[in-house]
Amino acid sequence: MNMKQLKSVIEGLLFVTGDEGLSAAQLAAVLEQRPEAVNDAVKEMREQWSRDGRGLQIVEVAGAYRLTTIAEHAPYIEKLATSPIRATLSQAALETLSIVAYKQPITRVEIEEIRGVKSDRALHTLVSRELIEEIGRAEAIGRPILYGTTRAFLDYFNLRSLDDLPEPSESNANDRLDDETVMLFSKLDRDEEQLSIDDVKAPDGEGNA
């Protein structure tokens, strides 16, 4: 594998692992390369992306490489998050939220096994709305993030605790997922509300997110 191919695969791997990222050792194991070669490739990627003015960057957090947006674009990302076209949670986000609510603590991979599709974007949306948060790390290879619901989730759905969540019917896994998602929709309908960005407190505590 030449350097161009190596960097291309690294970019793809970091994209699919989202906030969890991958360490140099993990990347090296997947790519069947030396960690030093991986670090050299990442260094070149960082320098090249900076020169090209790319909107993404590679950062190292807790020993793992992650893809993130650059700080200069934060105002535009915040504007997108608060725009009318992003006002309500998507079906994918509500499905993911119901899974986290009923199955927590749970990892991204476990969520995707239940949904059958990638859930990085939905998780990012829910974290940014402060409806779910990282509550620990699983005792598994790579120590994946464990997600759980927040106090904001309980407040929004007017729940004293998770014990107050509606009980889904006993059926197969797919039916339960549908059931749990409908439970959240139904609660919103009873309150004649939609789960929107405006309903969730901004992270800085100033206004709505």
How far is the CA of 181 from the CAs of 99, 119, 164, in angstroms?
Answer: 8, 15, 15
- Least Cα distance to 170 among 102, 112, 110, 119 occurs for 102
The predicted structure's pLDDT at residue 197: 39
For domain 82-199, give the fold: Arc Repressor Mutant, subunit A (1.10.10)
- Residues of the chain short of pLDDT 70, as ranges, are 79-88, 168-209
Indicate the fold that domain 3-72 takes in CATH. Arc Repressor Mutant, subunit A (1.10.10)
- Residue 161 CA to residue 180 CA, distance in Å, equals 16
pLDDT in tens, 9-62: 999 999 988 888 899 999 999 999 999 999 999 999 999 999 999 899 999 988
Alpha-carbon span 78 to 207, nearest angstrom: 13
Q: Where in the chain is the domain with CATH 1.10.10.10?
A: 3-72, 82-199
Q: Which 3 state secondary structure label does DSSP give 19?
A: helix
Q: What does the alpha-carbon distance between residue 101 and residue 165 come to, in Å, rounded to a whole number?
A: 8
pTM across the whole model = 0.48
